[in-house]
């Protein structure tokens, strides 16, 4: 059976852009509006699953409560940990670690930010969590409230992109995408 997984990225955060990673900053009012607008035409869902970070979890909790849906928190679907780069913008890193940033953008699997989580470990963590969601919710439609990195990874996998193109997948704040997850772990976008 197929799991229909709708992916919602959190909205704008109080600390702005940059590599947020495991930082737990809150949504702005605009960020809340972005997420509300994204789900207006979505669903119907049988449950909501969220990253534990508040920029995802607070909206997911409010939405699940309003819609009378069960809510599950999935720690393995939180953002990539960027180590020493957490909270820093690409512009800042161009000044302090231009070579590292260039290597990361060219091949995120081949270069890990200092003290960060290797993208291959992140990939295993995220795909394992999606496999658990399939076992729990196959045949249903689930809303996953998560992060840009998680969504890029899943969309790149569904689109069959080479690993070097991971960071070229565009996922705006408040973006909503749909995926089909099969029992064998295969991901695809509905046509």
pLDDT of residue 123: 98
pLDDT in tens, 24-50: 999 999 999 999 999 998 899 999 999
Residue-range domain boundaries for the chain: 3-188
pLDDT of residue 61: 98
pLDDT of residue 66: 96
pLDDT tier at 72, thresholds 50, 70, 90: very high
DSSP-assigned beta bridge partners for residue 102: none
pLDDT in tens, 156-180: 999 999 999 999 999 999 999 999 9
Over its C-alpha atoms, the chain yields an Rg (Å, rounded) of: 16
pLDDT of residue 15: 87
The rounded distance, in Å, linking the Cα atoms of 69 and 173 is 23
Q: What does the longest C-alpha to C-alpha distance in the chain come to?
A: 49
Flag whether pLDDT at 118 surpasses 90.
yes
CATH number for the domain whose boundaries are 3-188: 3.40.50.1240
Flag whether pLDDT at 95 surpasses 90.
yes
pLDDT of residue 149: 97
């Amino acid at each position: 059976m197929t799991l229909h997984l709708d992916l919602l990225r959190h909205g704008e955060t109080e600390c702005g852009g940059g590599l947020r990673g495991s930082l737990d900053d809150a949504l702005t009012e605009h960020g809340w509006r972005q997420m509300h607008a994204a789900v207006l035409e979505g669903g119907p869902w049988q449950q909501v699953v969220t990253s534990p970070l508040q920029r995802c979890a607070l909206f997911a909790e409010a939405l699940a409560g309003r819609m009378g849906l069960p809510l599950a928190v999935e720690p393995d679907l939180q953002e990539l940990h960027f180590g020493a780069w957490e909270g820093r913008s690409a512009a800042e890193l161009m000044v302090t670690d231009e070579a590292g940033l260039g290597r990361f953008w060219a091949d995120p699997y081949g270069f890990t930010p200092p003290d960060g989580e290797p993208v291959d470990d992140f990939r295993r963590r995220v795909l394992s969590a999606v496999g658990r969601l399939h076992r729990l919710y196959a045949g249903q439609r689930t809303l996953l409230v998560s992060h840009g990195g998680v969504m890029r990874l899943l969309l790149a996998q569904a689109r069959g992109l080479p690993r070097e193109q991971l960071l070229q997948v565009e996922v705006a704040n408040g973006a909503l995408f749909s995926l089909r997850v099969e029992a064998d772990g295969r991901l695809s976008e509905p046509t």
